[in-house]
Amino acid sequence: MPIQAAPDDMRLANQMLCIGESSCVADLAKSLRVSLAETTWSSALGLYMFNGSDLQNLLCLGVPEGFVAEYRDLIGSSDPLLQNVLAHRSPVDGRALLGAKSWSGSSIGALLLRWNLHHHMCGPIFFDGQVKGIIYTASIHPTRPYTASSVAFMDCLCRAASLAMARLNGCSAGPAPHQKRPVLAGRARDVSLLLCKGATNKEIARCLDISAVTVKEHVQVLFRKFGCRNRTELVSVLSRSYASELDF
């Protein structure tokens, strides 16, 4: 018996198709903004493309006048979100990356707050096997943080936008080839699985019959192995890249 798609699934599929079928950069930006506003409460969108090593703004929607110039002059290539996206080739949430307390004291956090922007994410645009651009979004709602689902949705948007930009530029679509993934085995695999299920170090220790200190050491090794700065980022990487191996 055929399985009927739920309305939310149909709406998501339609949004991705609208983005992938965009006839120009302006249409692409509009479709991205509509999808982000409906799903993540984001009102501001910036579409950037690389010209060599320089990141240039193509189009902004819902961004306060003057913000882009100040971002370029004060932050630019030192933006930790941009650096993370280039390193890991996947979307990232600013507060999850930096931590809520560190975020407000960071240069990018202070700049966003000055312009009445709060939660923010960015993700890559791929074509010709390289990261060619960046989608940046931010929200004016301080009490509506992004979630893991928000980041996963952003990943879908980035993939659809990559197809559109590849077609508009007459290039081949697809992500840059990934480096060989580290192998997860033994205790590293066990700890990773429980981390992704939201377990604390004490809960992992009880489940695996090891000490909390040993769990902490395993987590620190995973941080270094995957180049992650915090637990949230590590779980995001593991969930995205090892879902089948970890039996989610």
105 with 35, same domain: the answer is: yes
Could you tell me which residues are beta bridge partners of residue 47? 59, 135
User: Which residues 6+ apart lie within 8 Å of 131 measured at CB?
Assistant: 50, 85, 86, 89, 124, 125, 176
Give the integer Cα–Cα distance in Å for 153 and 35. Answer: 9
Tell me the sheet residues that pair with 59.
47
Give the pLDDT confidence score for residue 206 in this predicted structure: 93
Nearby residues of 225 by Cβ (< 8 Å), 6 or more positions away: 182
Indicate the helix (H) or strand (E) that contains 149: helix 148-168
* Pair (46, 158) in one structural domain: yes
pTM over 0.75: no
Q: 130 and 104 in one domain? A: yes
180 domain residue, yes or no = no
- The residue among 138, 168, 198 that closes a domain is 168
- Which domain covers residue 70, as residue numbers? 7-168
Of residues 58 and 227, more confidently modeled: 58
Q: DSSP label at 77?
A: G
Selected residue with higher pLDDT from 239 and 246? 239
CA distance 205 to 195: 11
pLDDT band, very low/low/confident/very high, at 134 (cuts 50, 70, 90):
very high
pLDDT at residue 142, as a whole number: 86
What confidence tens digit (pLDDT) does each residue in 173-190 have?
Answer: 555 444 455 667 788 888
Tell me the residue length of the chain.
248
Per-residue pLDDT, 116? 92
pLDDT at 248: 47
Cα end-to-end distance, the chain, whole Å: 26
Q: How many domains does the chain have?
A: 2
Residue 235 φ/ψ region, left for φ over 0, alpha for ψ in the -120 to 50 degree band, beta for the rest: alpha
Per-residue pLDDT tens for 78-132? 888 888 888 888 888 988 888 877 888 889 989 999 999 988 999 999 887 788 8
- Out of 140, 168, 196, a domain closes at 168
Q: Confirm whether 81 is domain-assigned.
A: yes
β-partners of residue 54 are 51
Answer with the residue of higher pLDDT: 234 or 91: 91
In a domain, 246, yes or no: no
Supply the CATH number for residue 115's domain.
3.30.450.40
Phi/psi for 56 (5° steps) reads -115, 140
What is the 8-class DSSP label of residue 76?
G
Which amino acid would we find at residue 126?
F
Within this chain, do residues 15 and 125 fall inside the same structural domain, yes or no?
A: yes
Checking if the pLDDT of 4 tops 50, the result is no
User: How far is residue 57 from each of residues 43, 78, 109, measured CA to CA in Å?
Assistant: 17, 16, 20
Tell me the pLDDT tens digit for each residue of 43-86: 899 999 988 878 888 889 999 889 989 998 989 888 888 888 88
